[in-house]
A and B are shown apart, each in its own frame.
Chain A
Amino acid sequence: MILADVTQAATLLRYALAPRDRPTPGSRYRSLLDRYRTDAAFAEIVERVADGLGIDVRTPTPLGLVVSGRADGPFAVTVANSGLLIRTGKPGLQDRRCFALVLVALAAYAYPNGESLGDSANPTVRPSELERFLDRRVEAVAEAVEQDGSGSDEQLGEAAKAWLDLPEVLPSERGGLRRDCRRDYVQRTLEFLVAQGRARYEPALDDERGKAYALNDRFRIGLAETAESLVFGVLAQDREVI
């Protein structure tokens, strides 16, 4: 093994960890990324260094190497440390619940089935439509629970109850949105993904239904790789609770 390759592998990971670095033509990032694609031995070193650091290497894309932090590593991203604006105290609990709910709803709304996870077309999401989608789902579960009574297997989680208690929109005096409304949580989640380079605001697609955001390949690739484990995780934990 050539030790210089280890340095280069770590350098590639350093670029991958900076979400705004791009492998522009002629850049060092680009040459390292091309080497990762074409040199199997080098790719192996990159993946081993990443493994030691607690990083999962997803896939190389034209916009860079997609990596994500493992839950038990120092690079782990959670709802609490992601940069989503979580308040302290009791409102913080509501923030964590609602942001997690909106994220899961966004994944289900944008990629309703497994086929769409393998389709490289980028879906667009409008805040009002995503909010309506989540509202309908929550209300459907709430109605089912109410009709079936206590004998039902189905139940409404605390997060879903909190979501139902929130008003749809709370306009602020300056024209924006105040906290503690459904639209604000949806809007903040989409803007967070834009800031993280996982979505893009598309002004050309704006219309009377509102702003349009396009989720990009990196969102889809990350979701496709983890969708199965998330589904199994939910099923397993639900069984433990039962």
Chain B
Amino acid sequence: MSRPSTTSSDLRERWQVLQLLGPVFELLERAAPRAGFDHRAYDLAQLALRAIDHVVRNQASLDGSVSPAAVVDHLTQVARRMHPVDELRPWTKVARAVFASLLNDGRPHEATWIEPGPDDGGEPVAVPFRFRLLRLVESDDGTAITATDQAIVLYLQALATDLADRALALKLMVGIQMRSGEFEKALASAAEATRTAEGLAASLRHKLDDTRRDVRSVDWTAEMPTWLADTLSRIGEQLDHDRQLMTLAEQSGADPDARATCLRITTEVRNGQDVWLRLERFVQQAIPVFLAAQQVQRFRPRGLAAVVDLARDLLGPVLGSSDPVLAATGDGLLGAVAPAAPPPCWGVDELCAVLLRPPLLREQPAPHLDDPGELAADIAADSVPADVAAVVADLLDDAARTPTRASEMLTAARARAVEVEDPQRLLDVLWGASLWAFVSGAEAVQDELPRRANLATALAPLVAVDDGKTLADERFAGPDLLVATGPALDLIDHLEEPAT
């Protein structure tokens, strides 16, 4: 005999509520042991509930939403209070692990309800159940986290009851308890009613926000008009009840024993009333959005996009397609998701500014590196002819052996003029060599010497001094320099000293 369908439906609802705890078990059993902190030291299940509480409370507040960073901060503080002496200070890590498990990267959590087959041997049917606890959405201030209805059910520790009915029932209960003098019980019920009001307000705001952000995300034509009318009437009903409760609390407050409790009940009811008033204002502000929703959905009903599977119908064919097909798909996709690109407009002013702007980076020429080959080529191209260099080197060698005056060297050079092709050049080089010895003296360095090796060797040890005598020569004028080696000149100075 098959069971009645109502039992099966009730069972499935309770099963769904059980599945809502799945992400928390997933966190405890799988994510936490691999998260790199001492997961036993923290009550992660409690942190998960606190995260949902925090989001729902913010959602029902004036702000209407809370950022992901604020949720993580809140959980970090709670985690720190759970284990303040943890040396590794993993509180942010703990908070992120809890938050990530609940958010599930914005994807729905999944469970599968397997409907058993009939007794006569039919096939069982698998029915997927997808749900989210937290959602990542856009708000005016950036990304925000909102709680889903399922999370609100978890927050209220309730089964799948109608939240508005529950809020009303609680308020009726407050009234009954106050009339029968059970003020402490009435206070607890009022607190529960406020809590339920926050949950319901969060649920309603969630739907309003969805409509405001994308008018096609909710079904305006069928679902929303009824929903909106229902919401407005419920808000009015709740506010009426709140007013009645306030009056009742004021009347009961006349009793001195109950005054303190009644004052707290009044505060609690006022808190709940604030939630409803904010929601009423929010709905009124959203009326233009509803008008837009009506208009947009009237002219643009939901497309066929709902039946498209992008992985199967788009990515799969693209992986096997040719370049033109891929290019067309890529361009089409980018054209749809990226903002329209205004073409650049160039005026003469802008063009001149770009062309004439100073360079941001100065051009630096590549460093010039010495090439040994280049140096060898220079040596070969020395300007002093080889025959002149040989005669001058001989004469300088003589001067190194015996101190000689420039005039004497010039006379000797003229005597050997037949040995060279250019006698004038011989005299010039010799005169230049004696001047070089005078100017550089003993401080000459290798690089400054003539490139001819024999000339450089002969000239290197020589120095020249001007001892006041004047050169008498038909070609050159100046002092008649005495050319010798440094030690030879020192010896001359030493020999002359007694005479002076």
- Residues on A lying within 8 angstroms of B by beta carbon are 16-17, 19, 34, 37-38, 40, 43, 55, 59-63, 67-71, 74-79, 81-83, 96-97, 99-101, 103-105, 107-109, 111-115, 117-124, 126, 137-138, 141, 154-160, 193, 196-198, 200, 202-208, 212, 214, 216-231, 233-235, 237-238, 241
* Cross-chain contact B336 with A160 (CB below 8 angstroms): no
| Count of inter-chain pairs, beta carbons less than 8 A | 290
* Cross-chain contact B343 with A120 (CB below 8 angstroms): no
**Does chain A have a CB within 8 A of B236?**
no
* Cross-chain contact A225 with B303 (CB below 8 angstroms): yes
* Cross-chain contact B107 with A59 (CB below 8 angstroms): no
Given A204-B72, A227-B305; A120-B322 close (CB under 8 Å): no
**Does chain A have a CB within 8 A of B324?**
yes
**Does chain A have a CB within 8 A of B323?**
yes
**Does chain A have a CB within 8 A of B117?**
no
A154 proximity list for chain B (CB < 8 A): 320
A141 to chain B, nearest CB (A): 5
- Would you call the interface of chain B mostly helix, strand, loop, or mixed? helix
Residue of A nearest to B92 (CB): A204
B304 proximity list for chain A (CB < 8 A): 114, 228
A37 proximity list for chain B (CB < 8 A): 288-289, 291-292
Which one of A77, A115, A158, A229 has the highest number of Cβ atoms from chain B below 10 Å of its Cβ?
A77
Residue of A nearest to B130 (CB): A115
Given A79-B327, A107-B310; A62-B340 close (CB under 8 Å): no
* Cross-chain contact A227 with B292 (CB below 8 angstroms): no
* Cross-chain contact B309 with A114 (CB below 8 angstroms): yes
Given contacts A141-B316, A156-B320, 11 further A-B contacts (CB under 8 A): A55-B340, A61-B214, A76-B331, A101-B319, A107-B315, A119-B217, A158-B323, A196-B338, A214-B136, A230-B314, A230-B329
Which residues in chain B, 301-360, are within 8 Å of chain A measured between CB atoms?
302-311, 313-343
Which one of B69, B212, B303 has the highest number of Cβ atoms from chain A below 10 Å of its Cβ?
B303
B259 to chain A, nearest CB (A): 44
Q: Which 5 A-B pairs have the closest CB atoms?
A: A100-B330, A226-B336, A69-B340, A114-B306, A75-B340
A170 to chain B, nearest CB (A): 23
Encode B164-189 as 1/0 by CB contact (under 8 A) with A: 00000000000000000000000000
Residue in contact with A113 in the complex, picked from B215, B309, B325, CB distance below 8 Å: B309
> What would be 21 A-B contacts, judged by CB atoms less than 8 Å apart?
A62-B140, A67-B340, A68-B335, A69-B335, A79-B330, A104-B329, A109-B311, A113-B308, A120-B213, A157-B320, A157-B326, A160-B319, A193-B337, A198-B339, A205-B100, A207-B96, A223-B333, A224-B303, A225-B303, A227-B305, A241-B325
* Cross-chain contact A224 with B305 (CB below 8 angstroms): yes
Residue of A nearest to B206 (CB): A120
Which one of A40, A62, A115, A204 has the highest number of Cβ atoms from chain B below 10 Å of its Cβ?
A204
* Cross-chain contact B342 with A138 (CB below 8 angstroms): no
Encode B71-95 as 1/0 by CB contact (under 8 A) with A: 1100000000000000000000000
Alpha-carbon distance A236/B180, docked complex (angstroms): 76
A238 proximity list for chain B (CB < 8 A): 317, 321, 325
A58 to chain B, nearest CB (A): 8
* Cross-chain contact A118 with B328 (CB below 8 angstroms): no
* Cross-chain contact B340 with A118 (CB below 8 angstroms): no
Given A37-B292, A105-B315; A63-B138 close (CB under 8 Å): yes
Chain B residues touching A, range: 35 or more
A52 to chain B, nearest CB (A): 14
Given A158-B322, A217-B214; A107-B333 close (CB under 8 Å): yes
B295 proximity list for chain A (CB < 8 A): 40, 43
**Does chain A have a CB within 8 A of B137?**
yes
* Cross-chain contact B314 with A141 (CB below 8 angstroms): no
B318 proximity list for chain A (CB < 8 A): 101, 104, 157, 159, 234
Alpha-carbon distance A212/B69, docked complex (angstroms): 13
Given A200-B142, A228-B304; A17-B336 close (CB under 8 Å): no
A241 proximity list for chain B (CB < 8 A): 321-322, 325
A37 to chain B, nearest CB (A): 4
* Cross-chain contact B338 with A198 (CB below 8 angstroms): yes
Residue of B nearest to A76 (CB): B335
Residue in contact with A108 in the complex, picked from B106, B215, B314, B327, CB distance below 8 Å: B314
Residue in contact with A59 in the complex, picked from B72, B210, B215, B319, CB distance below 8 Å: B215
B138 proximity list for chain A (CB < 8 A): 61-63, 122, 216-217
Residue of A nearest to B314 (CB): A231
Given A121-B137, A238-B325; A202-B314 close (CB under 8 Å): no
* Cross-chain contact A99 with B330 (CB below 8 angstroms): yes
Residue in contact with B334 in the complex, picked from A78, A137, A214, A217, CB distance below 8 Å: A78
Alpha-carbon distance A71/B329, docked complex (angstroms): 11
* Cross-chain contact A97 with B322 (CB below 8 angstroms): no
Given A122-B137, A224-B303; A60-B292 close (CB under 8 Å): yes
A114 proximity list for chain B (CB < 8 A): 304-309
Residue of A nearest to B217 (CB): A120
Alpha-carbon distance A41/B210, docked complex (angstroms): 25
A219 proximity list for chain B (CB < 8 A): 337
A132 to chain B, nearest CB (A): 13
A82 proximity list for chain B (CB < 8 A): 334, 338, 341
Alpha-carbon distance A203/B92, docked complex (angstroms): 12
**Does chain A have a CB within 8 A of B408?**
no
**Does chain A have a CB within 8 A of B427?**
no
Encode B419-459 as 1/0 by CB contact (under 8 A) with A: 00000000000000000000000000000000000000000
A150 to chain B, nearest CB (A): 14
**Does chain A have a CB within 8 A of B296?**
yes
Alpha-carbon distance A218/B71, docked complex (angstroms): 24
Given A75-B343, A156-B320; A59-B214 close (CB under 8 Å): yes
Residue in contact with A237 in the complex, picked from B107, B316, B324, CB distance below 8 Å: B324
A113 proximity list for chain B (CB < 8 A): 308-310
B209 to chain A, nearest CB (A): 8
Alpha-carbon distance A109/B309, docked complex (angstroms): 10
* Cross-chain contact A123 with B105 (CB below 8 angstroms): yes
